[in-house]
Amino acid sequence: MKYKIKAIISGNVVEVYRYGIPVRTGKDRTIFDRGSGNAIKAPEEVEKMKQEKSLSNSLKRTRNTLRRLINANTGRWGKEREKFFTLTFKENVTDHEKANAEFRSFIKKLNYKLFKKESGLKYVCVVERQERGALHYHIILFNMPYVPHAELLKLWGHGAVRINEIDHVDNVGVYVVKYIEKEMRNMQSNKSAKVKDKKLYFASRGLYKPEEISDGTAEGKRELREIAGKVEGHEVYRKMYESEHYDTYEVIQYNLARKS
């Protein structure tokens, strides 16, 4: 890494990372206890810690990617406000392939109703597996006009359509991720490879992506100065962290829809 400051812009939400002094890491498998400084040498302990850390990092990446993708598309698709609802199955559907096929069929029918073609809707969908194994879908749609609830029920045809109110939410990504975070953790830590390997979420094509800017170039430094002016007075979060790659790093989050 050849930069010290990085900003990730996802719609109204701006995250700034400030990195401290890099820490040299060896290539061996030895892990040191932060408190005593003693090496942990037992291979099974090292492997267990690595697996737990890998799972934690994977969950964090998924959560951040999903949150940023949603925020990057909120308010970007015309006059329509975002719609967030849940599709459930009346029957106990537990097979991913079958459930995904029904979801794709629903999206296709909804596209034809609204746009007279197979694509047009911009959305992110999260798959939830309940404790009894049944699957259902949480969907946020960025450009869907009003459709009566009865019509959505008819198009879905397999169970309930629960509509969730989000007009008051100014960080939709965080709202949606919190809504399904427990299910994400349960699925990702599930011992069954057949479940573990399934995607936790999927999205339509052509969505806006979060923008990343660093001070590694003169242009990046200029853009970061511009961002600093825009986010002043909008700070909502600031925290220092330790890292295996840096002695410390700081994360500052701003929300342009709020005043600090």
* Domain map (residue ranges) of the chain: 5-74+209-255, 83-203
pLDDT at 193: 45
Phi, psi (rounded to 5 degrees) for 72:
-65, -20
Distance CA 4, CA 28 (A): 27
pLDDT confidence of residue 58: 79
DSSP H stretches of helix in 7-144: 43-73, 96-115
Q: Which residues touch 37 (CB under 8 Å, ≥6 apart)?
A: none
Output the pLDDT for position 203.
95
Q: For every one of its 260 residues, what pLDDT tens digit does the chain have, with 9 covering 90 and above?
A: 588 999 999 999 999 999 988 876 655 555 556 566 666 556 777 677 777 777 777 778 889 999 999 999 999 999 989 999 999 999 999 998 999 999 999 999 999 999 988 889 999 999 888 777 889 899 999 999 999 999 999 999 999 999 988 988 999 999 988 877 776 666 666 644 445 556 788 899 999 999 999 999 999 999 999 999 999 999 999 999 988 778 889 999 999 998 76
| CATH number 3.30.429 is the correct assignment for the domain at 83-203 | no
Burial of 177 (0-12, 13-18, 19+ CB in 10 A): buried
> What is the pLDDT at residue 128?
85
Q: Residue 145 has what DSSP assignment?
A: -
Distances (CA, A) of 234 to 120, 169, 170, 203, 256: 34, 16, 12, 29, 6
Which residues are CB-contacts of 213 (< 8 A; sequence separation ≥ 6)? 6, 7, 9, 220, 223, 224, 227
45-48 long-range contacts (CB < 8 A, ≥24 apart) are none
Which residues make beta-bridge pairs with 124?
140, 203
CA dihedral for 191, 194, 199, 200, sign (positive or negative): negative
What is the structure's pLDDT at 192? 45
